[in-house]
Amino acid sequence: MDVTGANVWVTGVTESPDWVINGWRTTYRGYGDAFVAKIVDISIEGEGETPIEGEGEAKTILLPGDVPLELVWIPEGSFLMGRYPGEEGSYDREAPQHEVTLAQGFWMGKYEVTQEQWLAVRGAWPDAPPYVPSNSYGLGSTYPAYYISWEDTQDFIASLNAHIADTGQGPLTVRLPSEAEWEYACRAGTQTRFYFGDSLDCAGDCSDCVAGSLPGNRTDYMWYCGNNAINGTKVVGEKLPNTFGLYDMSGNLNEWCEDDWHSTYDGAPVDGSAWVWTPRSSNRVRRGGTWNYDAVGCRSALRNVNPSDTRGYHIGFRLAAVEWMPLEGEGEVPVEGEFPAEGEGESVVEGEGELPVEGEGEVLDEGEGEVLPEGEGEPAEGESSEGEGEYPPETLLLPGNVPLELVRIPAGSFQMG
């Protein structure tokens, strides 16, 4: 069968112990007669399901000067974080493997932040020569930004969030990904050493794997010491992406995460949130490997550490983003099905759809649903309503008739802090 240059729908399974079965159908580029079909486990919402609707959705932020920054939607889901038992070339700092569930999806940078994007947002490099991008390690608008510390990323993020707000490109807030978000996005449903597979007989050094051990060679997916004869970073997006559509998650540059460094995963959050010390430590997590690492140093589970002020020719970053929801009344359109349709189940109050302020309007009598005239249903003179607010409490009867009291909190505004 000649499948050279073709896209092949993979529906079968493989007996290789380094591949996890049960997943959706995916495509891989074929490599001649030696091509071996593989299937990747994409376990986002249960085993064997098809991709979540909307997976792969893209969003573009226009930076100053109309420089685009592309984001890819990463759907919510669960995964096993850390090295799998017996993973070749792994370290104790990648253990124990543990399940993490991300209840909400998020946006992730399609590429590492580029030099053009950095200069569009910040206008200048954070350091002076020789600690700025140069021809020695890759220079150009589509090369990734490097010599960037974790602290420098916070300046970039603050400037970009201000720009997003000023230009009406919200609701969106950019930040660094948590370490769990990063690994979840990198794996894209896989549990192998790399998001493109990598059988157990492949060495972890600078060599490539022979065609047939993988759905494609390592060199098709990442920049590492095995294909980087001219040292330095490379233009983003030149290699094949993972299933989520993210490029260069292995190799090219190490990428900062939000998390403080912890030497193992003992006690790590299981909800995908960033794991930080109180007060914060000086060391931060970086992920993904880089252009001068051995292949084993670019594995999906590999994690490393540097002080937050470290700038290096091998360190850059990639953004995550979440959509914030404005408070009701700030122009937000209710999600279909979340609120009653117009005229259904609504209480008509005095005025034009506004809730009454304290002492004005009307109050519902508990359990009857009737609207009482102002003043009725309130404490008589000399009686106290302290602890009940303006509205009478609701009581839920738990099993065994154990009461649980609720107090209604009316809508309103206040100065916080």
> Of 57, 4, 56, which Cα lies nearest the Cα of 28?
4
User: Quick one: CA dihedral 176, 179, 181, 184, positive or negative?
Assistant: positive
In whole angstroms, give the CA distance from residue 89 to residue 178.
Answer: 24
Query: To 5 degrees, how large is the angle CA 251–CA 255–CA 256?
Result: 160
Residues 281-301 have pLDDT tens digits of 999 999 999 999 988 899 999
pLDDT of residue 88: 86
Cβ of 384: how many Cβ atoms within 10 Å?
7
Residues 130-156 have pLDDT tens digits of 999 999 999 999 999 999 999 999 999
**What is the distance, to the nearest Å, from the Cα of residue 48 to the centroid of all Cα atoms in its chain?**
23
In the chain, what's the furthest Cα-to-Cα distance? Answer: 92
| Mean pLDDT, rounded, for 405-416 | 81
pLDDT of residue 400: 64
> Of 293, 204, 220, which Cα lies nearest the Cα of 254?
293
In whole angstroms, give the CA distance from residue 119 to residue 151.
Answer: 16
C-alpha atoms less than 13 angstroms from C-alpha of 341 in its C-beta half-sphere:
2
**Mean of the per-residue pLDDT values of the chain:** 76
Q: What is the pTM of this model?
A: 0.67
Query: To 5 degrees, how large is the angle CA 250–CA 88–CA 179?
Result: 45
| Mean pLDDT, rounded, for 174-200 | 92
Domains and CATH numbers, the chain: 56-322 (3.90.1580.10)
Question: pLDDT grade, residue 220 (50/70/90)?
Answer: confident
Question: pLDDT grade, residue 219 (50/70/90)?
Answer: confident
Q: Lowest-pLDDT range, 113-117, 134-138, 202-206?
A: 202-206
Q: Pairing state of beta strands 7-10 and 26-29?
A: antiparallel
C-alpha atoms less than 13 angstroms from C-alpha of 312 in its C-beta half-sphere:
20
Asked whether the predicted pLDDT for residue 191 surpasses 80, the reply is yes
Residues 249-283 have pLDDT tens digits of 999 999 999 999 999 999 999 999 999 999 999 99
3-class secondary structure, 242: coil
Cβ of 266: how many Cβ atoms within 10 Å?
9
In whole angstroms, give the CA distance from residue 223 to residue 293.
Answer: 9
pLDDT of residue 231: 84
Residues 307-362 have pLDDT tens digits of 999 999 999 999 999 997 544 444 433 334 333 344 444 333 344 434 333 444 33
Asked whether the predicted pLDDT for residue 47 surpasses 70, the reply is no
In whole angstroms, give the CA distance from residue 198 to residue 218.
Answer: 8
Does residue 232 contact residue 136 with C-beta atoms inside 8 Å? yes
Does residue 224 contact residue 294 with C-beta atoms inside 8 Å? yes
Residues 51-104 have pLDDT tens digits of 333 346 999 999 999 999 999 999 999 999 999 999 988 999 999 999 999 999
Q: Which of the pair, 371 or 403, is modelled with greater confidence? A: 403
In whole angstroms, give the CA distance from residue 212 to residue 6.
Answer: 15
Does residue 97 contact residue 85 with C-beta atoms inside 8 Å? yes
Q: Which of the pair, 346 or 210, is modelled with greater confidence? A: 210
